[in-house]
Amino acid sequence: DEFISSPPRKTVRFGGTLTDILLKYEKGETTDFELLKHQLSDPDIKDAQIINWLHEFRASVAYLTKELEQLVSILLKLPWLRRSREVVEEYLGFLGNLVSAQTVHLRPCLRMIVSQFVPPRVTIREDDVDISDSDDDDENLSENFNTCHRALQTVARYVPSTPQFLMPILVENFPFINKSERTLECYVHNLLRVTVYLPTLRLQILELIIEKLLKLDVSTPQQDIEDAEETANNSDNEEKSREEGLFDMEEDEERKGNKVVSSSSERMAHPLAERLDILMTILFSYIKDVCHVDGKLDINNTKDLYRDLVSVFDKLILPTHASCHVQYFMFYICSFKLGLAEAFLDHLWKKLHDPNNPSVIRQTAGSYIGSFLARAKFIPVVTVKACLDLLVNWMHKYIDNQDTGANAYCDVALHGPFYSTCQAVFYTLIFRHKQLLDGNLRKGLSYLQSLNFERIVMCQLNPLKICIPSVVNLFAAITRKYQLVFCYTIIERNNRQFIPVVRSGTGGDLVQTCTNPLDSFFPFDPYMLKRSKKTIDPFYQFWEELSAEDLENLKKPIKRGTSEDEDDDFLKGETPQNDGVVGIAPNSYESNTRSPVSSIGSPPDCYVPYPQ
C-alpha cells in the first residue's frame, strides 16, 4: 500500500526511456543520446538522478556493447564514491551487472576502481595558475577505500578471471616515487589489502611493492641519509640557540616545545628516506598481521608468507647490490620463529655452495649469512655453531681442492665465493665470540680450535688480503687473544703489497689498490629509518664499540693452562652491552684499511698494536 500511494520520484528527464534512446542511437538518431551524455556529465547531478539512471542502466546492460564504450566511460566517471549510501549501493549493483553481461568493459571498470586507491587531488586555481595541488584530507577517505575494495570484490565475484586483468592495471597505476608520502602510503596499503581477498595475486603484488621500495632504497645511500640528518640537526640547533637568545621562555613552555620537537623528530630529513620509512612501516605491519591471528602466531599463514617473501628475495633483493633497508622484511619474518631463521640460513647456504649459481650471487649469499648470524639476536649460539661448522668445513674442502692446483693463488675473480665465506665466518666470530666462549671457556676454546683457523689464514689463497681490513684487524686481535691463530705476519706482508698500480682502463692513471676487492657489504648493517626502526631494534644486535679496557685485553693473550674457575672469572662482564660506548683508537693504515662507506655501522677500523 505504501509503495502504491507514494508518488514517483520527480527528476528532470529528456528523451524518453533509456531503451528508446539507445535503440534510436543504433538507427542513427543521436540527439537524445547526446542529451543523455550531457545529463550524465553534469557536475551538479543530484543523487536521485544518479539512482534513477543507474536503475535504468542496470536493466539495459545488454545494450551497452563495445560500440557504446564512450557512454560507459561517462558512467564510470560518475562521482559515486562521495555520495549517499543509496547511490553507492546502486552503483555497485550496476558494476556487477555490467561486467557480468559485457566483459569487454572489465578493464575500464578495474581502472576506475584502482584510480580511487589514492587520495583525490585538490587544485586551487587563481588566474589560470595552479596555486595549490595537494592531497584531499577527506575524513571519509578510509570509508571510500573500503567501498573501492567492495567494488573490486563484486567484480571479481562475477568475473573469475579478474586477477589476471587487474595486475597490469595495478602496475601501471603505481604512483611515481616522487609523489607525496600520503599518496604512496595509501596506494601501497590498498595493494596489500587486495592480497587478502585475491590471494592468487599476493606474490605479484609483493614483488611490485618491494621492487618500488628497492628503487627508493638504492636512491638513498646511508651516507646521504646521515648527511641529511646531520644538516637538519645542525639547523635545528642553530634555530634553538637563536630562540634562546631572543626569548626567556618559561619552563613549562619549554616542555611543550620539546613535545613538538619529539613528534617531528620521527620524520626523516631526506625526503626519499621519509617515503621509504613510511612504506617499510606498512610492510612490517602487514607481515605481522598476516602471520598472527588473534595475537597468536599462525604457523600455516606464516609459512605461506615466508615462501612468497623468499621468492621475492631471490628475484629482487639478492641480485641488488648494497640495498640498505628493504631486505629487513626477511629479518623481521625470521624473528617470529627459529625454524624460519634456520630455513633462511639453509636457503642462503644452498645458494652459496652451489657452483651452478653465478659467482656474484654466491658472494652476496655469503654476505647475508655472515650479517644475519652476527646481527640477529633471536639466533641462539647452537645455531651459530652449526652454521660455522658448515661454512668452515666447506672452506677446508675448498682449500683441499684448490691449494695445490694451478689456481692456488690470491684472486677474487677465481675464488670470490670462498673469500665471501671467509669474511662471513670472521665477521660472525667478531660479533659472537663472547657468546661462543661464555660459561665454559675451555670448552669454547676447544671448539674454536677445532675450526682450525690457522690453516685457513695461512693457505695460498690468502683470505686476509681480500677481506675488508676492519674485519681482518678485529679478527686478528680476537684470534691472537685466544691464541687461535697469529695473523699479524700475514697482515704486514699483505700491507707491503698495497702499492699504487697502473690500471689500463683509466688511461694509465695511478690508482690505489682497492681495499674492498670483494665489493662486499653487510646487508644487515644498522637500520636508519626512524619509524620502522622500532620494529627491528628489539631483535637487533648492535655493535659494542671496544672500550680502552677491551683494547688492553686484546693485547694480552690468554695463558694456556688456566683453571676453569679462572676462565669463568675472566669472562665476567664481557657479555655484549649496548651502553657505555667508548670511541676506539684510529687506524694507522689510512685509507688502505678503512671500511668502505657501504659498511657504516659495522665494526670500525681497530688498530691493535702488533706484539713486540
Q: What type of residue is 241?
A: S
Percentage of residues in the chain having pLDDT higher than 70: 76
Q: What span, in angstroms and rounded, lies between the C-alpha atoms of 366 and 522? A: 10
Q: Using alpha carbons only, what angle is made at residue 570 by residues 564 and 571, rounded to the nearest 5 degrees?
A: 100
Q: How confident is the model at residue 573 (pLDDT cuts 50, 70, 90)?
A: very low
CA proximity to 520, closest of 316, 314, 322, 357: 322
- Residue 557 pLDDT class (50, 70, 90 cuts): low
Q: What is the model's pLDDT at position 261? A: 35
pLDDT score of 26 more than 50: yes
**Rounded CA separation 479/437 (Å):** 12
Orientation of helix 18-26 relative to helix 47-59, angle to 10°: 60
pLDDT in tens, 473-527: 999 999 999 999 889 888 888 888 765 544 444 454 544 555 677 777 899 999 9
Nearest by Cα to 518 from 473, 453, 591, 463:
463
The residue among 521, 493, 222, 537 whose CA lies nearest residue 368 is 521
416-448 tens-digit pLDDT: 899 999 999 999 999 999 999 987 888 999 999
Q: What pTM does this model have?
A: 0.82
Q: What is the mean pLDDT of residues 242-254?
A: 50
pLDDT at residue 91 greater than cutoff 50: yes
d(CA 100, CA 73): 17
pLDDT tens across 176-214, in order?
A: 988 889 999 999 999 999 999 999 999 999 999 999 999
- Residue 320: strand, helix, or coil: coil
In angstroms, how far is CA 480 from the centroid of its own chain?
A: 38
pLDDT category, 567, cuts 50, 70, 90? very low
Q: Give the N- to C-terminal CA distance of the chain in Å, as an integer.
A: 109
pLDDT at 501: 47
Who contacts 212 (Cβ-Cβ below 8 Å, separation ≥6)? 174, 177, 188, 279
Q: Residue 410 and residue 38: Cα distance in Å, rounded?
A: 78
pLDDT of residue 262 exceeding 80: no
As a whole number of angstroms, the distance between CA 118 and CA 174 comes to: 10
Residue written as grid cell 609523489: 179
Query: What distances in angstroms separate CA 437 from CA 25, 57, 431, 432, 574, one per listed residue?
Result: 87, 77, 12, 9, 10
